[in-house]
């Protein structure tokens, strides 16, 4: 089978992040979910890096840990927090190279537990303060579920307002039968001397 010319938003986020994350970097998975992004990040930072993850559901932390164990990722590489992504600044000291958000609900779990626009905007503010110059944040939004439209619009508005300090990209598929996931990616501009 030929590769998709237009990859899924999560795959596009991985493609972009792979270009900037190096072994030894510190990164954040703001919404652990089933641990797929955390695993990707762990493979990028290697044995000397650190992935810091957040989720409000214990099941997500367990799933992410299982992903790590299945793929032989050492425990020293990851650290999970049972907390909202909006609280990442309470747990992370110093800068990080990247922050990934995969919003919505935990696949295979209770779909009434969803991320919300207000919490996510707080999390974006926190992430923006942690990312080093040249670092990146990616946000995959799912407008197809209740509350998802408002959250996606809030993320886009927040990102658009930061164009002076960030390179901002919006990636989405059009002409789909139902609302398709969207990717908002932001790379922090280098400080001018």
pLDDT in tens, 46-71: 999 999 999 999 999 999 999 999 99
pLDDT at 105: 64
To the nearest whole number, what is the mean pLDDT of the chain?
Answer: 91
Instruction: Report pTM.
Output: 0.93
| pLDDT confidence bin for 95, thresholds 50/70/90 | very high
> 62 in a domain, yes or no?
yes
Grade residue 111 by pLDDT with cuts at 50, 70 and 90. Answer: low
- Check residues 108 and 151 and name the one with the higher pLDDT: 151
The number of distinct structural domains making up the chain is 1
Could you tell me the residue range of the domain that residue 79 belongs to?
9-188
Q: Is residue 31 in a domain?
A: yes
* pLDDT score of 179: 77
Contact 54, 77 (CB under 8 A): no
Backbone angles phi, psi at 15, to 5 degrees: -60, -45
Question: What pLDDT is stored for residue 71 in this prediction?
Answer: 98
| 183 located within any domain | yes
Average pLDDT for 11-18: 96
pLDDT value for 190: 86
| pLDDT at 113 > cutoff 90 | no
List all residues 6 or more positions away from 141 whose beta carbon is below 8 Å from its beta carbon. Answer: 103, 104, 148, 151, 152, 155, 156, 181, 182, 183, 184
- Is 50 among the domain residues? yes
Q: What is the pLDDT of residue 110?
A: 61
For residue 168, pLDDT beyond 70? yes
Is residue 162 a part of any domain in this protein? yes
pLDDT for 43 equals 98
Report the pLDDT value the prediction gives residue 104, as an integer from 0 to 100: 81
Q: Assign residue 88 the CATH number of its domain.
A: 3.40.50.150
168 part of a folded domain? yes
Contact (Cβ atoms closer than 8 angstroms) between residue 38 and residue 49: no
Give the angle 119-123-125 at the CA atoms, nearest 5°. 120
Residue 112: its pLDDT value, please?
65
Asked, for residue 4, whether it belongs to a domain, the answer is: no
10 Å Cβ neighbour count for 16? 18
The per-residue pLDDT for 125 is 96
Does residue 178 form part of some domain? yes
Helix or strand (DSSP H, E) at 41: helix 36-45
């Amino acid at each position: 089978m030929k590769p998709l010319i237009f990859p899924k938003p999560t795959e596009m986020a991985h493609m972009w992040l792979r270009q900037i994350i190096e072994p030894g970097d510190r990164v954040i998975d703001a919404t652990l979910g089933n641990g797929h992004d955390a695993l990707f990040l762990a493979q990028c930072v290697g044995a000397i890096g650190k992935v810091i993850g957040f989720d409000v559901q214990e099941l997500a932390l367990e799933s992410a840990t299982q992903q790590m164990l299945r793929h032989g990722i050492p425990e020293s590489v990851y650290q999970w927090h049972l907390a909202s992504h909006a609280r990442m600044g309470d747990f992370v000291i110093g800068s990080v190279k990247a922050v990934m958000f995969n919003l919505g609900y935990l696949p295979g779990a209770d779909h009434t537990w969803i991320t919300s626009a207000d919490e996510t905007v707080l999390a974006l503010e926190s992430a923006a303060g942690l990312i080093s110059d040249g670092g990146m944040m990616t946000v995959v939004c799912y407008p197809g579920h209740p509350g998802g439209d408002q959250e996606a619009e809030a993320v886009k508005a927040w990102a658009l307002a930061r164009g002076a300090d960030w390179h901002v990209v919006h990636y989405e598929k059009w002409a789909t039968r139902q609302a398709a996931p969207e990717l908002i990616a932001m790379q922090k501009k280098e400080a001018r001397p």
